[in-house]
């Protein structure tokens, strides 16, 4: 597992590409493209050599293409794909692991050369190499990339030393030093605010889009972004103990704890390979005691054919083909799986844990209710909008979206009361706009009904009288209700919400959506702890859905991490296993269904490959099959597997 936007896999490599690009009249190769070409070059070279050799053999256009020249041609074709496998097999033997698929492939293909079946030897190894490339690509997609975290980590701190502010590495700043943070910069270390007030974007820590206004002596956390004016902070922790460093550490540790899925073919080969090798040995020598006219060369030839037939090429190819079909089907439905293993993992999920803001809500503030007491609504909103027009706060922007006829009121002398709101004059009347504390501190009596309001509330007084209030809330996504319904229908037994927003709002959203259990006020480590506790319960597999940097640790440690890609942070996207590219939570159930269908297709392909392989093995042992028939059987199985996997593209996932 948002956007094209940009290829999610290349976010970290593309992000700073412009810093190094220049027009000097020369072509500059993309290192990643060059690396990929080098990876596939050996297989391409062997394929071209093999096809050319077979064509020369078949059409007999070069009479001199025989003897050592012909042998040498196929040896050259064999080496690029065969040598790495032989080398791997030899290293495995030195490490005490004798019966691997590398050994089997080496014996079988070298045996084909020994009996003069050169094209078959190259073809079988080429099939195997291509299958390994497919499988390797799937595994690489499954690796969580957390390089984007480097963009979150503050890279400098302005610390006051020797009578001036100097730029230093945050790791060199000591506790008790004074640092300066300019507008738009990240706070590099945890500390206490020395300035009278400050406004901070704390989304990196809480995931909530609403800015946090702090006053003097309040705690400020590293990773927050200063939104308003130059501020000064006295550090209270070293960088290694700061909030953002803890998030970095949590993600790294959680990623390390994620179990690595061992390739099925490698597990299978530990049993399959020794059986095949011993059967081939038996096929060579046992007939000596049974057959009257035993000829060693004939039975050796038959054993080598048996080994060639037993090569697991069809399995190596057919298994990833099924997964690629599932990955393609998911991609066409706006879902990105970062590897085939997560398609399997998705089928085992029985508990879904989700964030709130940006996951089931739009992360955009809107006016929910306007309550005017002493004025008509339009006049009330004119007073409010005249004041909020002077502010850049997100809540002010939400209020300014109100559509009223004629907003001709003008506010003068507007000043901010730190942590409380705004004070000014509109049409000659004193107007206060802010929270309850602002009202009561100015002697304004606030109706008791406001105490029960859960959402963010903006109160207004005009000339000393309480005029009314506006409630501001984040909107649910259009498909939020359908998403919860679909997840339940997909067989998920438990749905949980963990949010950095205040608990009362979290509980309200959870109740509205019919979520089983919810908890608000959660920091990154709190979410991580809750999920780890769930994972300790027997037979519990957890998928976590989030979108913020604060969700990265739990996205990494959950059995399946799912990130919202449209509005989600780069860190969440890079850390997650599955990306919902359209930001629609209803895609979650669809991802589960695609995973289950893919698993069914894969096991059908495995059964097909085993069935055909067993049949041809028996025919080979009886001397009724040649190596070309074995190769054809592998290709035939691969074609059938492709056709089977194509069904995933045609299925309806609504």
Q: Are residues 375 and 470 in the same domain?
A: yes
Tell me which residue of 452, 451, 431, 426 sits closest to 442, measured CA to CA. Answer: 431
Of the listed ranges 29-38, 341-350, 366-375, 400-409, the least confidently predicted one is 29-38
Please identify which residue in the block is written with the tokens 């913020």.
Answer: 548
Range(s) of the domain holding residue 298 = 40-143+261-323+597-650
Hey, is 56 helix, strand or coil? helix
Q: Are residues 136 and 196 in the same domain?
A: no
Q: Are residues 134 and 162 in the same domain?
A: no
Q: Would the pLDDT of 633 be above 50?
A: yes
Hey, is 231 helix, strand or coil? strand
Selected catalytic residue, list 212, 344, 355, 551 = 355
Domain assignment present for 590: no
**434 Cβ contact list (under 8 Å, min separation 6):** 417, 420, 421, 422, 458, 459
Hey, is 503 helix, strand or coil? helix
Domain assignment present for 225: yes
pLDDT, residue 420, reads: 83
Q: Are residues 167 and 92 in the same domain?
A: no
86-91 mean pLDDT: 90
Q: Are residues 184 and 268 in the same domain?
A: no
Domain assignment present for 70: yes
Using CA atoms, how far apart are residues 483 and 95, in angstroms rounded to an integer?
51
Residue 216: both structure tokens together: 């003097």
Domain end call among 189, 218, 244 = 244
Whether 293 sits among the annotated catalytic residues: the reply is no
Q: Would the pLDDT of 29 be above 60?
A: no
Alpha helices, DSSP H, located in 469-516: 480-489, 503-513
Per-position DSSP letters for 295-341, written without gaps between them: -HHHHHHHHHHHHHHH-THHHHHHHHHHHHHHHHHHHHTTEEESSHH
Domain assignment present for 571: no
pLDDT band at 257 (very low <50, low <70, confident <90, very high): very low
Per-position DSSP letters for 146-169, written without gaps between them: -GGGGGTS---EEEEETTEEEEE-
Q: Are residues 232 and 278 in the same domain?
A: no
Q: Are residues 280 and 239 in the same domain?
A: no
Domain assignment present for 490: no
Q: Are residues 136 and 270 in the same domain?
A: yes
Q: Are residues 166 and 134 in the same domain?
A: no
Q: Give the residue with greater pLDDT, 183 vs 336.
A: 183
Q: Give the residue with greater pLDDT, 66 vs 333.
A: 66
Q: Are residues 179 and 279 in the same domain?
A: no
Report the CATH number at residue 382: 3.40.1110.10
Domain assignment present for 495: no
Residue 235: both structure tokens together: 């550090």
Domain assignment present for 555: no
**200 Cβ contact list (under 8 Å, min separation 6):** 187, 211, 212, 213, 214, 220, 224, 225, 226, 227
Domain end call among 192, 213, 244 = 244
Q: What stretch of H or E contains 610?
A: helix 587-621
Distance separating the N- and C-terminal Cα atoms of the chain: 19
Q: Would the pLDDT of 481 be above 90?
A: yes
pLDDT band at 463 (very low <50, low <70, confident <90, very high): very high
Reported in sequence order, the residue ranges of 553-635 that DSSP labels E, i.e. its strands, are 560-564, 578-580
Report the CATH number at residue 223: 2.70.150.10
Considering the entire predicted model, what is its pTM? 0.58
DSSP conformation class of 230: -
**506 Cβ contact list (under 8 Å, min separation 6):** 356, 497, 499, 518, 519, 520, 521
Q: Would the pLDDT of 61 be above 60?
A: yes
Q: Are residues 231 and 269 in the same domain?
A: no
Q: Would the pLDDT of 207 be above 90?
A: no
Q: Are residues 240 and 278 in the same domain?
A: no
Residue 377: how many CB atoms within 10 A of its CB? 13
pLDDT band at 142 (very low <50, low <70, confident <90, very high): very low
How many distinct structural domains can be found in the chain?
A: 3
Domain assignment present for 548: no
**351 Cβ contact list (under 8 Å, min separation 6):** 492, 493, 494, 495, 496, 534, 540, 541, 542, 543
Beta sheet of 225-226, edge-to-edge order: 212-215, 197-201, 225-226
Domain end call among 442, 476, 510 = 476
Q: Would the pLDDT of 622 be above 80?
A: no
Residue 544: both structure tokens together: 């976590």
pLDDT, residue 74, reads: 95
Q: pLDDT per residue over 280-318, tens digit each?
A: 889 889 999 988 888 887 887 788 777 766 666 556 666
């Amino acid at each position: 597992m948002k956007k094209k936007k940009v290829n999610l896999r290349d976010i970290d490599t593309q992000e700073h590409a412009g810093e190094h690009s220049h027009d000097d009249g020369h072509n500059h190769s993309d290192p990643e493209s060059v690396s990929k070409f080098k990876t596939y070059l050996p297989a391409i070279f062997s394929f071209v050599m093999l096809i050319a050799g077979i064509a020369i053999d078949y059409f007999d256009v070069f009479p001199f293409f025989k003897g050592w020249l012909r042998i040498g041609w196929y040896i050259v074709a064999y080496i690029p794909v065969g040598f790495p496998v032989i080398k791997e097999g030899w290293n495995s033997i030195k490490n005490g692991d004798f019966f691997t698929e590398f050994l089997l492939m080496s014996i079988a293909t070298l045996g084909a050369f020994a009996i003069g079946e050169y094209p078959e030897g190259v073809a079988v190894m080429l099939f195997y190499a291509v299958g390994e490339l497919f499988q390797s690509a799937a595994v690489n997609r499954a690796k969580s990339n957390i390089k984007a975290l480097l963009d979150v980590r503050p890279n400098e701190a302005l610390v006051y030393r020797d009578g001036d502010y100097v730029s230093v590495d945050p790791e060199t700043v000591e506790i008790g030093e004074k640092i300066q943070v300019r507008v738009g910069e990240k706070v590099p270390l945890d500390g206490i605010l020395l300035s009278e007030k400050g406004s901070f974007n704390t989304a990196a820590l809480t995931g909530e889009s609403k800015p946090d206004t702090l006053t003097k002596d309040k705690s400020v956390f590293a990773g927050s972004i200063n939104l308003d004016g130059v501020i000064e902070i006295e550090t209270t922790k070293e960088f290694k103990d700061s909030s953002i460093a803890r998030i970095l550490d949590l993600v790294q540790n959680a990623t390390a704890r994620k179990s690595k899925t061992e390739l099925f073919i490698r597990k299978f080969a530990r049993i399959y390979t020794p059986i095949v090798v011993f059967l081939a040995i038996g096929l060579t020598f046992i007939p000596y005691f049974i057959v009257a006219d035993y000829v060693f060369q004939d039975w050796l030839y038959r054993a080598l054919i048996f080994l060639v037939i037993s090569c697991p090429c069809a399995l190596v190819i057919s298994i990833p083909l099924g997964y690629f079909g599932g990955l393609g089907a998911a991609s066409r439905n706006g879902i990105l799986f970062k590897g085939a293993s997560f398609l399997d993992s998705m089928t085992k999920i029985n508990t879904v844990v989700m964030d709130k803001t940006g996951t089931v809500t739009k992360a955009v503030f809107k006016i929910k209710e306007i309550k005017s007491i002493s004025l008509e609504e339009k006049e009330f909103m004119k007073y409010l909008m005249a004041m909020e027009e002077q502010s850049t706060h997100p809540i002010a922007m939400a209020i300014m979206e109100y559509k009223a006829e004629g907003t001709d009121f003008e506010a003068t002398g507007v000043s901010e009361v730190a942590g409380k709101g705004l004070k000014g004059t509109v049409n000659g009347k004193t107007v206060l706009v802010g929270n309850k504390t602002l009202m009561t501190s100015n002697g304004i009596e606030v109706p008791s009904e406001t105490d029960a309001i859960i959402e963010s509330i903006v109160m207004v007084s005009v000339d000393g009288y309480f005029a009314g209030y506006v409630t501001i809330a984040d909107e649910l996504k259009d498909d939020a209700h359908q998403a919860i319904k679909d997840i339940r229908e997909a067989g998920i037994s438990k749905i949980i919400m963990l949010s950095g927003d205040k608990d009362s709002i979290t509980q309200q959203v959870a109740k509205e959506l019919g979520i089983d259990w919810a908890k608000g006020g959660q920091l990154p480590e709190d979410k991580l702890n809750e999920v780890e506790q769930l994972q300790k319960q027997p037979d519990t597999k957890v998928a976590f859905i989030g979108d913020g940097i604060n969700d990265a640790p739990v996205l990494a440690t959950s059995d399946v991490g799912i990130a919202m890609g449209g509005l989600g942070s780069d860190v969440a996207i890079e850390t997650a296993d599955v990306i919902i590219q359209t930001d629609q939570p209803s895609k979650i159930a669809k991802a589960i269904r695609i995973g289950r269908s893919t698993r069914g297709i894969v096991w059908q392909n495995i059964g097909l490959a085993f069935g055909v392989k067993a049949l041809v093995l028996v025919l080979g042992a009886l001397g009724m099959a040649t190596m070309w028939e074995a190769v054809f059987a592998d290709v035939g199985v691969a074609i059938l597997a492709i056709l089977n996997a194509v069904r995933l593209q045609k299925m309806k996932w609504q």
